[in-house]
Amino acid sequence: MKLSTRSLALAAAGVVLLGAGTNALAQKRTPLQTIDFPPGYQTISVIAELEPGQCTTRHAHPGIESAYVLEGEAVAKFDNKPDQILVAGRPLQFGQEEMHNVCNTGTSRFKAIAHYIVEKNKPLVLRAP
C-alpha cells in the first residue's frame, strides 16, 4: 500500500473548501492519511468535526464511509431511511452514494474518525442536486 502525496494534498485542500461557512459544507475534515487501496479506490482517513448547531449540507460519497464517534452528539438524516442518533462510542456507516446530512445536536463539538473507501480520481463529496 502506497501513500499518495497528491491525494493527501487534495484532501487537505478539501478541508479549506468544506470547512467553513454556513452555506458551505460546514463540516471540518482534517486528513490523517490516504492510501491507494484497494485497486481503483482510495482509502482516506480523516477527523470530522461539527460545531454545536452546525449541519453539513445534503451530500454523498463515491464509495462507503465508516466512522466512529469520538465525542459529542449529532443526528444523521437520510433520504431513504430513519434518522440515526450519533453519540460518543457509536459506530456509523454510509453506503455508496447514500444521500445524507449530519447535524450537531449537542452543546459541544461533534468529532468522529471517518474512513472513506472511494473511487479514485473522484471528489470525496458529491453534493445534492
Q: What is the pLDDT of residue 25?
A: 57
Range of the domain at 60: 5-127
- With bands split at pLDDT 50, 70 and 90, how would you rate the model's confidence at 18? very low
- CA dist 106 → 51, 73, 75, 110 (Å): 9, 5, 10, 8
Please give the tally of structural domains in the chain.
1
Which CATH number does the domain housing residue 70 bear?
2.60.120.10
Contacts of 84 (CB under 8 A, 6+ apart): 75, 76, 78, 92
Least confident of 15-19, 50-54, 62-66: 15-19
Summarize the confidence of residues 66-72 as an average pLDDT.
98
| pLDDT higher than threshold 50 for residue 2 | no
| pLDDT higher than threshold 60 for residue 83 | yes
- With bands split at pLDDT 50, 70 and 90, how would you rate the model's confidence at 26? confident
